[in-house]
């Protein structure tokens, strides 16, 4: 147990994700359990620079476990990328007598946190919070499960129109660099084709495959396209290409956008966030720093930031196979 840590700060940074509030709540209440003081930082790493701090106790975080977004607000801080910005952040933390920091966010947040720890040797533990599920070393990130459910619900609704009008819908989902949302929601919603950044199917193969499925008796088609997919310049251009090369369907485009980031977190995300919040405070009290707490095979794990931010372009080939087999 580290005798040094008496006061912890918590922040959310980068894209908001459903379940971040549940993680804040867990960090605040775990701090209280261990008789530590807890401070909330508003607007992420930018809030460290602005010194935007507020004392939090167990009652400050009541009724937030069920709320989407983040009560601490979030931001993508350009200033924190500068040495001068980080120095101000460090000075503010010292002035506020904060001994350690819990950061809830994605790879950008962890990259900034690692640099900060390297420069100032300041104890930081990260909690993976992003709908993209693109953090190395954890099976799931907070918000991913909720986003999947939101996407599947939306695609189910679009399918009603696709079926009624014999249309082909291209549906863009989030995931700049990772196809996890597209692949899993695509399988869950019974998509005919799933286009992900990790694998370039090629436009011709896509059209051939869509023609084949039309011939097999399908009257409509759903193609899930991850935001970062490389097959076309963008989904509009891809739709034009399909229109020019496939007469069988009327082609429509839906971009789901930020509805994927909002909404009440699923039970899975609330439990994951609660476990990771408690795990982060445990890790700090154990003297750990420069790490993320994650989940692997249902167990809480500790992963160095350097590993967590490595990024992983590996796709689960079994999922691709399941998608191929079940979409015939």
The catalytic residue positions are: 132
* Least distance (Å) between residue 133 CB and ligand F6P: 10
Q: Are strands 7-12 and 100-105 parallel, antiparallel or unpaired?
A: parallel
Tokens 């399908």 correspond to what residue?
218
Q: What are phi and psi of 202, to 5 degrees?
A: 90, 140
What is the rounded CA–CA span in Å between residue 53 and residue 73?
A: 12
- When binding is defined by CB under 6 A, the residue of 227, 229, 269, 290 that contacts ligand F6P is 227
Stretch that binds ligand F6P, among 53-61, 119-127, 173-181, 281-289 (CB under 6 A): 173-181
Cβ nearer to ligand F6P, comparing 145 with 227:
227
Under the criterion CB under 6 A, does residue 68 sit at the interface with ligand F6P?
Answer: no
- When binding is defined by CB under 6 A, the residue of 123, 175, 179, 232 that contacts ligand F6P is 175
- When binding is defined by CB under 6 A, the residue of 8, 10, 15, 265 that contacts ligand F6P is 15
Under the criterion CB under 6 A, does residue 129 sit at the interface with ligand F6P?
Answer: no
Under the criterion CB under 6 A, does residue 176 sit at the interface with ligand F6P?
Answer: yes
What is the rounded CA–CA span in Å between residue 213 and residue 320?
A: 17
What is the rounded CA–CA span in Å between residue 17 and residue 25?
A: 14
Under the criterion CB under 6 A, does residue 192 sit at the interface with ligand F6P?
Answer: no
Cβ nearer to ligand F6P, comparing 94 with 258:
258
- When binding is defined by CB under 6 A, the residue of 49, 89, 174, 231 that contacts ligand F6P is 174
Under the criterion CB under 6 A, does residue 138 sit at the interface with ligand F6P?
Answer: no
Stretch that binds ligand F6P, among 4-12, 33-41, 172-180, 271-279 (CB under 6 A): 172-180
* Least distance (Å) between residue 260 CB and ligand F6P: 7
- The CB-side HSE value for 22 (13 A sphere, CA atoms) comes to 27
What is the rounded CA–CA span in Å between residue 246 and residue 289?
A: 55
What is the rounded CA–CA span in Å between residue 229 and residue 206?
A: 13
Residues in the chain: 328
Q: Edge to edge, what strands does the sheet with 167-173 contain?
A: 193-195, 221-226, 167-173, 250-255
Q: Are strands 250-255 and 167-173 parallel, antiparallel or unpaired?
A: parallel
Under the criterion CB under 6 A, does residue 265 sit at the interface with ligand F6P?
Answer: no
Chain residues in the site for ligand F6P (CB under 6 A): 15, 106, 130-132, 174-176, 227, 261
């Amino acid at each position: 147990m580290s005798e040094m840590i008496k006061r912890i700060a918590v922040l959310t940074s980068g894209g908001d994700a459903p379940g971040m509030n549940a993680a804040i709540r867990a960090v605040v209440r775990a701090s209280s359990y261990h008789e530590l003081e807890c401070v909330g930082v508003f607007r992420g790493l930018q809030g460290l620079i602005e010194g935007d701090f507020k004392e939090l106790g167990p009652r400050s975080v009541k009724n937030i476990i069920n709320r989407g977004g983040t009560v601490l607000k979030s931001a993508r801080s350009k200033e924190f990328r500068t040495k001068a910005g980080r120095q101000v952040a460090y000075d503010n933390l010292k002035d506020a007598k904060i001994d350690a920091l819990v950061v809830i966010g994605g790879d950008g947040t962890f990259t900034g946190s690692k640099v900060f720890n390297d420069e100032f040797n300041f104890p930081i533990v990260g909690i993976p919070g992003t709908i993209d599920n693109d953090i190395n070393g954890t099976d799931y990130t907070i918000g991913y499960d909720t986003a999947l459910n939101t996407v599947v619900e939306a695609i189910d609704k679009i399918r009603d129109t696709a079926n009624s009008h014999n249309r082909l819908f291209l549906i863009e989902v989030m995931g700049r660099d990772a196809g996890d949302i597209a692949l899993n929601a695509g399988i869950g919603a019974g998509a005919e084709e799933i286009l992900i950044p990790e694998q370039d199917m090629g436009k011709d193969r896509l059209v051939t495959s869509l023609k084949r499925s039309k011939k097999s008796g399908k009257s409509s088609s759903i193609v899930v396209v991850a935001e970062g997919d490389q097959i076309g310049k963008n989904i509009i251009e891809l739709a034009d290409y399909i229109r020019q090369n496939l007469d069988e369907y009327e082609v429509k485009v839906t971009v789901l956008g930020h509805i994927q980031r909002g909404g009440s977190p699923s039970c899975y995300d609330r439990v994951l966030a609660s476990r990771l919040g408690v795990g982060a405070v445990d890790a700090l009290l154990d003297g750990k720093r420069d790490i993320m707490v994650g989940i692997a095979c249902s167990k809480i794990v500790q992963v160095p930031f350097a590993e967590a931010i490595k990024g992983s372009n590996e796709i689960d080939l079994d999922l691709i196979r399941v998608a191929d087999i079940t979409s015939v």
